[in-house]
Amino acid sequence: MTETHREMTSLNAEAASLRESEPEKSIALAMKAAELARKEGLLQELAQSLLCIGIAEFRLSNFQKSALVLAEAHDLLEQCHADTSEVLFWLGRAHDRIGNYSLALERLEGKGETKELAQVYSQIGAVHLHLNAFEKALNYYFKALDIYDKQGNTQAQWSIYNNIGVIFRKNGSYDEALTYLKKSLVLAESLNNPTAIAYPLYHLGNVEELKGNLKEAEGYFRRGLKLLENATDKYIICSHLSGLADVLYKTGRLSKAIKHYQKALKLGEESSAKESIYEAHEGLYHCYKKQKNYAKALYHHECFLKKYSPKGKGILARAGLIQKNQATTAEVLITIKDEGLGMTQEDIAKAFGKFQKLSARPTAGESSTGLGLSIVKEVVELHGGKVWIESEGRGKGTTFFVSLPTHITHD
């Protein structure tokens, strides 16, 4: 082993030991190791440096950077015919935080033979939770919890209890949610880890808010933000800021709510966390609308709508009343035009069928059940209306039309 090789190995080892506790220092060390590995042409060692950087960037909530670096590490390990399970696990987590849920599942599923089986179960559960597939999420969480209980792994147990609590919250089972979230909080407090404690605190606040206990909710959010004053996890900081802003909005403190939403938006954009970004835009829309500042309200509403439109593209929605001569009936015509991938005639022909998979895929990796348009058609027709699609083809956007009958009265 050469002196350069020994130095690189030492740098990688030190970087790996610091990637959780001091991620910025870890990145600096791993980058030095990566530079040496590139000069020496040592691909597997370079991949280890990049893996370390990717995990550290994840810990700093730089999810887009994390995904890019981890993808390069994965490609290098495949070239070396080396084990890719750890890099795939973290790559799946990064895609989950960005909001690319389909890619997250693709990276995570099928990795069940790895030594990190419980971790993989847990993360697949997290992706299904974000997709609102609660039964699947619980199945994976309880599999992971069974392993962690046998190991006595408190570090992992608090996270699983937290996520199970979130599922019950989303199902509207608030008492069950509080039970699991309080278990999570007790375990997190035993670890004396402020960031770990902040996660169940956020969700406890969320449940109390949903139950109408706004004072209790505010207490949880403020406690979480105090704990996170020196934290690097922008994702959970965003969550607490938005949670507190929601309470401030509901209690009429609009200026303070706007201030907290704006902080959450800034951190969400820095970490490429789509869910946080759109929650902040939605909150700002409601605040400005209530203040009758319609220009700013419209801006944030349009930003929120872009969730399902490609970056840099827009969505135009219009509604108008169409009346023929002096007839007593008319139609309300709603058109929604995007600048997305467009649709072929074959796509249009089968678009309203159930469980259809079209050639144009979701723009940001979001999931698609193939049921959305069929449900739209059924609801519109139940109201005596019609729905149809027009598109000039791939790459030329799509326009959706909804026509609903209405009755006109004349004075």
pLDDT digits (tens, 9 = 90+) for 383-408: 888 888 888 776 677 888 888 887 55
Both structure tokens of 152: 């006595």
Question: Do strands 399-407 and 386-390 pair parallel, antiparallel, or not at all (unpaired)?
Answer: antiparallel
321 SS3 class: strand
Query: What mean pLDDT do residues 27-36 have?
Result: 92
Give dist(CA 243, CA 240) in Å, integer: 5
pLDDT per residue as tens digits for the range 194-210:
999 999 999 999 999 99
Strand partners, 389: 400
Residue with tokens 């309200």: 297
Rg of the chain over all Cα atoms, to the nearest angstrom:
25
pLDDT per residue as tens digits for the range 160-170:
999 999 999 98
Query: What amino acid occupies position 399?
Result: T
Looking at the predicted structure, is the pLDDT value of residue 334 above 70? yes
The H-or-E segment that residue 409 falls in is: none
What is the residue-averaged pLDDT of the chain? Answer: 83
Query: What amino acid occupies position 197?
Result: I
Both structure tokens of 215: 């004072």
Looking at the predicted structure, is the pLDDT value of residue 312 above 60? no
Q: Where are the alpha helices (DSSP H) in 171-293?
A: 174-191, 194-210, 214-227, 234-250, 254-271, 274-290
pLDDT per residue as tens digits for the range 236-294:
999 999 999 999 999 999 999 999 999 999 998 887 777 788 889 999 999 999 999 98
Query: What amino acid occupies position 111?
Result: K
Both structure tokens of 90: 């973290």
- Domains of the chain are 1-82 (1.25.40.10), 315-407 (3.30.565.10)
Residue with tokens 């309080």: 182
Question: Do strands 315-323 and 329-338 pair parallel, antiparallel, or not at all (unpaired)?
Answer: antiparallel
Q: Other CB atoms closer than 10 Å to residue 78's CB: what's the count?
A: 12
Both structure tokens of 392: 């000039």
Residue 101's contacts (CB-CB under 8 Å, 6 or more residues apart) are 95, 127, 130, 131, 365, 366, 367
Q: Other CB atoms closer than 10 Å to residue 311's CB: what's the count?
A: 7
Looking at the predicted structure, is the pLDDT value of residue 409 above 90? no
Our measurement of the distance from residue 396's CA atom to the centroid of its chain's CA atoms, rounded to an integer in Å, reads 28
Strand partners, 399: 337, 390
The conformational region for residue 384 under phi > 0 = left, psi -120 to 50 = alpha, else beta, is: left
Is the distance from CB of 51 to CB of 90 less than 8 angstroms? yes
Query: Using N-to-C axis directions, what is the helix angle for 194-210 and 214-227, rounded to 10°?
Result: 160
Residue 407's contacts (CB-CB under 8 Å, 6 or more residues apart) are 328, 329, 330
Give dist(CA 331, CA 319) in Å, integer: 10
